[in-house]
Copies of this chain bind each other. A is one copy, B any other.
Amino acid sequence: MPSPRIDNLQYANWSEKIFRQMRIGGVDAVHVTIAYHENFREAVLNVEAFNRWFEQFPDLIFQGKTAEDVSLAQATGRTAIFFGFQNPSPIEDDIRLVQVWHDLGVRFMQLTYNNQSLLATGCYEAEDNGITRMGREVIREMNRVGMVIDMSHSGERSTLEAIEISSRPIAITHANPGFWHSALRNKSDRVLQALAESGGMLGFSMYPHHLKGGSDCTVAEFAKMIARTVDKMGADRLGIGSDLCQDHPDSVVEWMRNGRWSKTIDYGEGSASAAGFPPQPTWFHDNRDFGNIAAALVAVGLSAGEVAGIMGGNWHRFYANSFAGENHGKT
């Protein structure tokens, strides 16, 4: 079986059109966000929405729970959908919900989304106190059941501590290196080095606010940045986490940024004059465009094996090592 194509972060306004685009683009697996600020019950409703789509479009998508499901997707010409949270809000204050969510298929959870959470500090807070008491317990529980710690939206200190505390490699599913484009959401050399040394994964984001030059960034510049990151982190620790937010009205970006936590509007990476979703770069509109990135990676001089790894093989290997529990008591 050839190396799969995996996008390790999308949050779209899901529809048959998008699922068909995944197939046209040859995307074998997608990690989808099913919660930004939702509490437990609300996030279950989002699971229900996906269950409806799984029932409606069984020839296009199915729920992925294991690395083998990516191979099954390849073998059957469908896309495996893996659930994840961008915020720990769906576990509320209850550590035992980590296992419940793992049983429901959740495979990634961010410890924070921009703000302070019960577990860690987000990248938009002025101060970062690191991993909280509950955060240490939840990291251990996530390690136990096989749920990946995602620090994409976390502060620097919290991220470094999570790498240190976690007994299993963690992920930054969607962010770019700060050396290329300085942004609160992009990551320092120190974080990237600690991530690589611990066996963790970085997913490159195509969200314009994470790109040098924003929406005008070229695919050649993007590929060149990836090649530089290969030099720093090694080619095996890298993948794609496009942060594709397709077909959403601007009200959704407001929900992502503000949830229920603020009465005054927070513009996140945007601004009052550019409050909505920025336009996608011309070379990545949707799931049909991953070939543009693969071609640019070849053009910038990466080997066929390195490109295959970055386009999905590395995430696939990471899935295989991350999603099974340390001991589910069965063997």
On A, residues with C-beta under 8 Å from B are: 40-41, 44-45, 47-48, 51-52, 54-55, 58, 62, 72, 76, 94, 96-97, 99-100, 103-105, 327-331
| Shortest Cβ distance from residue A42 to the other chain B in the assembled complex, whole angstroms | 12
- Given A40-B41, A47-B100, A330 and B52 contact (CB-CB distance below 8 Å): no
- Given A51-B99, A96-B52, A99-B51, A62 and B104 contact (CB-CB distance below 8 Å): no
The reply to whether A329 and B103 form a contact with Cβ atoms under 8 Å apart is no
- Chain B neighbourhood of A329, CB < 8 A: 54-55, 58, 62
- Chain B neighbourhood of A58, CB < 8 A: 327, 329
Q: How far is the CA of A52 from the CA of B55 in the complex (A)?
A: 32
The reply to whether A48 and B104 form a contact with Cβ atoms under 8 Å apart is no
Partner of A48, one of B44, B47, B72, B100: B100
| Shortest Cβ distance from residue A45 to the other chain B in the assembled complex, whole angstroms | 8
The 7 closest A-B pairs by CB, nearest first: A58-B329, A48-B96, A62-B329, A51-B99, A103-B104, A54-B329, A62-B330
Closest to A62 in B: B329
> What is the count of identical protomers in the complex?
2
The reply to whether A72 and B40 form a contact with Cβ atoms under 8 Å apart is no
| Shortest Cβ distance from residue A9 to the other chain B in the assembled complex, whole angstroms | 23
Q: How far is the CA of A331 from the CA of B75 in the complex (A)?
A: 10
| Shortest Cβ distance from residue A226 to the other chain B in the assembled complex, whole angstroms | 34
Closest to A58 in B: B329
Q: How far is the CA of A58 from the CA of B325 in the complex (A)?
A: 14
- Chain B neighbourhood of A40, CB < 8 A: 41, 44
- Chain B neighbourhood of A47, CB < 8 A: 100
- Chain B neighbourhood of A327, CB < 8 A: 58
The reply to whether B105 and A48 form a contact with Cβ atoms under 8 Å apart is no
The reply to whether A94 and B54 form a contact with Cβ atoms under 8 Å apart is no
Q: How far is the CA of A100 from the CA of B55 in the complex (A)?
A: 13
